[in-house]
Amino acid sequence: MTRGERAIELARDVGFDLAGIAPCAPPPDAARFEDWLDRGHHGGLAYMARDRARILDPRLLLPSGKSILVVGFAHSRPAVDLADRGLPGGGRVARYAAGRDYHNRMLKMLRRLARRLKQEGLGDLRRPVADAGPVLERSHAARAGIGFLSKAANLLHPRFGPWFFLGELLIDSELEPTPVPPAGSCGSCRACIDACPTGAILEPGRVDAGKCISFHTIESSELSPRPIRERIGPWAFGCDVCSEVCPWGHSAPDTSAKWGDSPSLVEGGLLRWLAQTEPRPAWAEATALRRPGEAGLARNAAIALAHAPSEAGRDGLLGALSSHPSAMVRAASAWSLARAHAPDEGVVRAIEGSLVREPDPVAEADIRASLDQAF
Ligand code: SF4
Ligand code: SF4
């Protein structure tokens, strides 16, 4: 057994579903990432432009780095519709976020793996990266044979499709790279490109983050542009459309028992998200759903409520319009009310009243546009 093979065996012992090794060097498709940045397709992901050099060359993260041990952890589960769980207001949540927080768990597993590697003399100075780290993780993962790069710009595995997390361990010793990637390709399929609600997949392998629902419901701290808002549909956190239509993921095994349900789903639901005003509510701690913050979750809830109008949803939106402390949430509530309940005279009067009171000029302009839309 080579040192590389032993490292992969240890990764599986620790509990990862997938593991492979790539050289600690810029990946072959680095130029494609630069072009994506240069064309501004990173949208509001400003840290990507700021961190360009480190993202491109992992040796800037760990100067003595020789190898990258890339790992994958499956998170396939049935679609997550909050209405199906009896939570008022409905709404959909990206499957990866429906389980208990993966980020801390991945980091703990990576640290455990690093200790095992050190004990066996397979590498010391190491740096764990789980999901949000500054590395081109899908490119390194493809090079490590974990899967193949797809037209939706994600990584596909023959068994798990797109449904797995990636993590990396940068290590300071030469481990034999994994030579053969799993077989597969998108071929002539273009289901994800055709299904994307916002047209964010500009061409095979290129996603405009500024158009992507995942960006607008997770990373962005602003209200999405109105044309995007119209197309967000039921998505209250993330978007799985391009993954759900992908034939490679259709027979992925259900791993939901491994992850459980996040407290935010069990105790929350859109109306609770919308009414939440206190920072860092206990029920959202230790879950991926805390990422956009309480105002971001309330904004998402307001927009998703337009997709499935109900009396309870209307009352929740009216409450948020009149008293939510976030101007962004007040504007999102006005938009949602105008879109889903506009013929209701009481609703129109409430939006007019909020316009008079609104102190924030950006929210005021948005509410005015919603009012125009209501007539
Ligand atoms: S996550 Fe949704 S919005 Fe983003 S590219 Fe995929 S289908 Fe399009
Ligand atoms: S839906 Fe089709 S084109 Fe898109 S990633 Fe999957 S196989 Fe590739």
- Angle at alpha carbon of residue 245, lines to 241 and 248, rounded to 5°: 125
Distance CA 154, CA 176 (A): 25
Question: Shortest CA distance to 162 belongs to which of 127, 191, 200?
Answer: 191
Shortest-distance Cα residue to atom 1 of ligand 1: 239
Distance CA 125, CA 301 (A): 44
pLDDT (0 to 100) of residue 223: 96
Distance CA 192, CA 245 (A): 6
Question: Shortest CA distance to 143 belongs to which of 56, 30, 27?
Answer: 27
Distance CA 204, CA 10 (A): 35
- How much of the chain exceeds pLDDT 70, in percent? 96
Of the candidates 29, 51, 57, 131, the residue annotated as catalytic is 131
pLDDT (0 to 100) of residue 7: 95
Give the nearest ligand 2 atom to 249 CA.
6
Mean pLDDT of 163-180: 89
Ligand 2 close to Cβ of residue 342 (< 6 A): no
Residue 159 CA, ligand 2 centroid: distance in Å: 14
Distance CA 90, CA 266 (A): 13
pLDDT, tens digit, 9 for 90 and up, residues 102-132: 888 888 999 999 999 999 988 876 676 766 5
**Bigger pLDDT: 82 or 69?**
69
Give the nearest ligand 1 atom to 195 CA.
7
Residue 214 CA, ligand 1 centroid: distance in Å: 7
Residue carrying structure tokens 């990396």: 168
Mutate to test the pocket of ligand 1, among 95, 194, 213 (most ligand atoms within 8 A of CB): 213
pLDDT, tens digit, 9 for 90 and up, residues 208-238: 999 999 999 999 999 999 999 999 999 999 9
Read off the amino acid at residue 167. G
pLDDT at 258 over 90: no
Mean pLDDT of 63-81: 92
Say how many C-beta atoms besides its own lie within 10 A of residue 78's C-beta: 10
With bands split at pLDDT 50, 70 and 90, how would you rate the model's confidence at 196? very high
Residue 239 CA, ligand 1 centroid: distance in Å: 6
Mean pLDDT of 341-349: 87
pLDDT (0 to 100) of residue 261: 81
Mean pLDDT of 260-268: 76
pLDDT (0 to 100) of residue 130: 63
What proportions of the chain, in percent to the nearest 5, are helix, strand and coil? 50, 10, 40
Ligand 2 close to Cβ of residue 149 (< 6 A): no
Residue 210 CA, ligand 2 centroid: distance in Å: 21
Mean pLDDT of 145-162: 95
Q: Where are the domains of the chain?
A: 3-77+96-171, 262-375
pLDDT at 299 over 90: yes
Least confident interval from 156-170, 172-186, 226-240: 172-186
Question: In whole numbers, what is the pLDDT of the chain averaged over residues?
Answer: 90
Distance CA 169, CA 2 (A): 18
pLDDT (0 to 100) of residue 26: 92
Give the nearest ligand 2 atom to 193 CA.
4
Question: Shortest CA distance to 79 belongs to which of 68, 91, 94, 101?
Answer: 94
Handedness of CA 146, 149, 155, 158 (dihedral sign): negative
Q: Taking phi first (over 0 means left), then psi (-120 to 50 degrees means alpha), and beta for anything else, what does residue 174 get?
A: beta
pLDDT, tens digit, 9 for 90 and up, residues 27-60: 888 888 888 888 888 887 888 888 888 888 989 8
Distance CA 214, CA 239 (A): 5
Residue carrying structure tokens 């960006």: 215
What's the predicted TM-score (pTM) here? 0.92
pLDDT at 99 over 90: no
Q: What separation in angstroms does the CA of 106 have from each of 21, 130, 225, 354?
A: 17, 6, 34, 45
pLDDT (0 to 100) of residue 297: 92
CA atoms within 13 A on the CB side of 345: 0
Residue 314 CA, ligand 2 centroid: distance in Å: 38
pLDDT at 349 over 80: yes
Ligand 2 close to Cβ of residue 335 (< 6 A): no
Burial (CB count <10 Å: 0-12, 13-18, 19+), residue 227: exposed
pLDDT at 133 over 70: no
Ligand 2 close to Cβ of residue 245 (< 6 A): yes
Distance CA 179, CA 278 (A): 51
Mean pLDDT of 266-286: 77
The helix-helix angle for 327-341 and 345-357 (nearest 10°) equals 160
pLDDT (0 to 100) of residue 13: 96
Distance CA 230, CA 251 (A): 31
Contact 145, 155 (CB under 8 A): no
Distance CA 274, CA 260 (A): 24
Residue 199 CA, ligand 2 centroid: distance in Å: 15
Ligand 2 close to Cβ of residue 102 (< 6 A): no
**Bigger pLDDT: 315 or 131?**
315
Mean pLDDT of 255-277: 82
pLDDT (0 to 100) of residue 257: 87
pLDDT (0 to 100) of residue 283: 67
315 is catalytic: no
Ligand 2 close to Cβ of residue 286 (< 6 A): no
Q: In the beta sheet, which residues pair with residue 165?
A: 73
